Amino acid sequence: MLIQDIILKKRNGHPLSTEEIDFFVKGYTAGVIPDYQASALLMAVWFAQMNERETADLTRAIADSGEIVDLSTIDGVKIDKHSTGGVADTTTLITAPLAAACGGRVAKISGRGLGHTGGTIDKLESIPGLDPMLAMDDFIRVVSACGLAIISQSPNLVPADKLLYGLRDVTGTVDNVSLISSSIMSKKLAAGADVIVLDVKCGNGAFMRSVDQARTLAAMMASIGRQANKPTSVLITDMSQPLGQAVGNALEVEEAIQVLRGEVTGDLKRVALALAAEMLVAAGLSEGIDRAEARLEAALNNGDGLQRLQRMIELLGGDPRVCDDSALLPRAAETVMLKADRAGYLIDIDSVGIGQAAQLLGAGRATKDDTIDPAVGLEVKVRLGDRIEAGMPVAELHVNRRDHLEAAVEKVRGSLTVDDQIPRAPELIYARIRSREE
């Protein structure tokens, strides 16, 4: 088998066989196939596309390139949850403890962020003392003890994905549904959960800008789950504005805790409950979404969800007192309030611009080697459709260094558009797609 024949076959629009896809992934991971030939095949895939069977084969080959986690010693149905990413998307820190409080076993291997916001691991690392780098035996022990664990991804997990993503990033082949789906789902399959729940974001702050694009991606990932015999549920949710108010690592942890304490409502809570309900239904722990959401509301109101998060923090070496006293989280040296310069209605929020402002303050990375400041970030005080008055506070920046403060302020100001016309409110949850229903 020759890689150049595989390149030509895909370039000419023909589907690749399972064996050809295995040959490519194994050869590239081993360093036998060079970057220039792998790049040519990725570009051929980008133009000619892959069908559902090819995409599932690529996903399995990437998943099999490294360690496959065995969670069989954990009692109950193991659940994994993933979001395609957005701004102020702190749902994992809410969904996981709530689902655990209702009988789920949430075993999540997560990553750090690259770009304008931190990932889930970056958020957790803002908790004093917490260490998300657990060995598999300890990961299993924590899930068994409190019903959930969120740990950092091992280098032994899906090494092919890391190599292929790095190549896609520099060859203009990131935005292909099969390549995106196989990257996400290979990590989920390798992580060993029984069921998978995905949150596909769409809007100006998401990778998939339109609902149709998001639906295509969701359907492909559900198809992969079905072919892998992993029940997979996907919600398509809105990212036309930051999901929560806080953008920044310790700030987002604090907001998640406030939701679990019943102090914060709104879109972040609504999406988190919808995802957690999907987790319970997918795991067979609830007969329907309405019943699942009622159980989750009860776990939130009686404090069971917060207690689960507190216990996980303690088992990961963190200070559990942060759940009672958010002042123990890292704090910025100063805050800067940004006020509206005109009256009207908030008709648009550039979510990426808000994220970039947080990155300028130090809350995100420009390169993978950058150090994140866990204390900094910003809070957006307004939502789409709000009536704004001149001089009204619209954002609060949490600052440790002033070298990029002016640029961050201008970025926030330019991300908020106020006009006289009342805008139409966006949908929050656009669709639900399940592998079992296909």
Q: Map tokens 């609060």 to a residue.
A: 396
The predicted-structure confidence for 400-423, as pLDDT tens digits, reads as follows: 999 999 999 999 999 999 999 998
CB-facing half-sphere around the CA of 115: CA atoms within 13 A = 17
Q: How far apart are CA 354 and CA 421, in angstroms?
A: 23
Say how many Å lie between the first and final Cα of the chain, rounded: 35
Find the mean pLDDT for residues 417-431. 92
pLDDT at 209: 85
Q: In the numeric block, which tokens belong to residue 223? A: 């198809």
Query: Poorest-confidence range of 1-5, 16-20, 153-157, 427-431?
Result: 153-157
**Structural domains in the chain plus CATH codes:** 3-48 (1.20.970.10), 78-325+429-437 (3.40.1030.10), 333-419 (3.90.1170.30)
- Indicate the DSSP class of residue 323: G
Q: In the numeric block, which tokens belong to residue 225? A: 């789950």
- Indicate the DSSP class of residue 117: S
- Strands 393-399, 377-380: pairing is antiparallel
- Structure confidence at residue 438 as a pLDDT band (50, 70, 90): very low
pLDDT at 117: 67
- Would you say 235 and 432 are in contact if contact means Cβ atoms under 8 Å apart? yes
53, pLDDT greater than 60: yes
The predicted-structure confidence for 166-196, as pLDDT tens digits, reads as follows: 899 889 898 899 999 999 999 999 999 999 9
Mean pLDDT of the chain: 94
Catalytic annotation, residues: 82, 161, 168, 183, 187
Residue type present at position 281:
V
pLDDT at 437: 52
Q: Name the percent of the chain lying above pLDDT 70.
A: 97
- Structure confidence at residue 116 as a pLDDT band (50, 70, 90): low
The predicted-structure confidence for 125-152, as pLDDT tens digits, reads as follows: 999 999 999 999 999 999 999 999 999 9
**Count of CB atoms within 10 A of residue 2's CB?**
9
